[in-house]
Copies of this chain bind each other. A is one copy, B any other.
């Protein structure tokens, strides 16, 4: 899978280093089971490159520094490469002064938000990061999309791996709704409203109405707004409204924070907490639809293991990718 991605990326004009990294991230996202931001998304990425929304030679650069807070310009480069650079820079700042924050303007979709959480937490830091998006969720009390689902990631080191919370502000990401629709499945809990204004578990009805449900109703709508404001104000970049006005999801604003656990923080407490939360919960709850108690990221590790013998890909998706080479 990685070789195929790399071949296509080289063919559309990426230099070898960038093609290698991008191909690896798209493969790893798929290996971890996040197909919506891995193999299933790859054709859209190539399309955005061909349309010029993503600039092959766009490089991120630091434009302002104030202590442990930096403002970077993404120059519309590939979102994955920009985000990797800024996540690494946040770690450098944290290594120097405990905490580092990089705000990035004019970047592109970073694909899987969790990518940067796994990276930073596996390097031994706490990570907090988020992105804004094109409008895809109505404010609470409204019917038309005006907020992004603005995924946030919080990640901490855990044993040799990490605990990684990767969540959009909508109950389901657009990618998850599309995947459920593609598989002709209903949602386990309501994910939005149908066109008649009723809460619905039908992904098609929700995608049609464009009224996805924020997590916690008014709460997720509020959190989405604040994440957009902070990313936009710190980076000096485009807000959800301004991204949406372009009619293409490009020029996003993002925040990357790393916190050092090097000096005096007590990393062993993570183990203690996980043990104390999960103990006695080895059997699932009585309620239907609730699986065993897992920490965020635990399922990813299982899928990563399962997929070592091969990553499942829908034939239609792979056939489309073969035409891109």
Contacts and interface: CB of A to CB of B under 8 A. Distances in A.
B270 A229 contact: yes
B270 A233 contact: yes
Nearest to A63: B264
A266 interface: yes
| Interface size range of chain A in the complex | 35 or more
Interface stretch (A48-56, A78-86, A212-220): A212-220
A101 B259 contact: yes
B225 A296 contact: yes
Interface in A151-178: 154-156, 163, 165, 167, 171
A115 interface: no
A15 interface: no
Given A68-B67, A96-B67, A220 B216 contact: yes
A117 to B, nearest CB: 10
A291 interface: yes
A294 to B, nearest CB: 7
A236 to B, nearest CB: 5
Contacts of A240: 273, 277
Contacts of A70: 98
Interface stretch (A18-26, A34-42, A141-149, A307-315): A141-149
B233 A142 contact: no
A165 B154 CA distance: 18
Nearest to A294: B141
B139 A66 contact: no
A93 B116 CA distance: 26
A265 interface: yes
A239 interface: yes
Number of copies: 2
B233 A291 contact: no
A220 to B, nearest CB: 6
A18 B112 CA distance: 48
A226 B171 contact: no
A234 B68 contact: no
Contacts of A303: none
A45 interface: no
Interface stretch (A4-12, A200-208, A280-288): A280-288
B293 A142 contact: yes
A272 B155 CA distance: 31
A287 B193 contact: yes
A68 B222 contact: no
Nearest to A226: B154
A71 B171 CA distance: 35
B64 A233 contact: no
A300 interface: no
Nearest 5 pairs of A and B residues by beta carbon: A215-B216, A67-B97, A69-B98, A241-B276, A66-B98
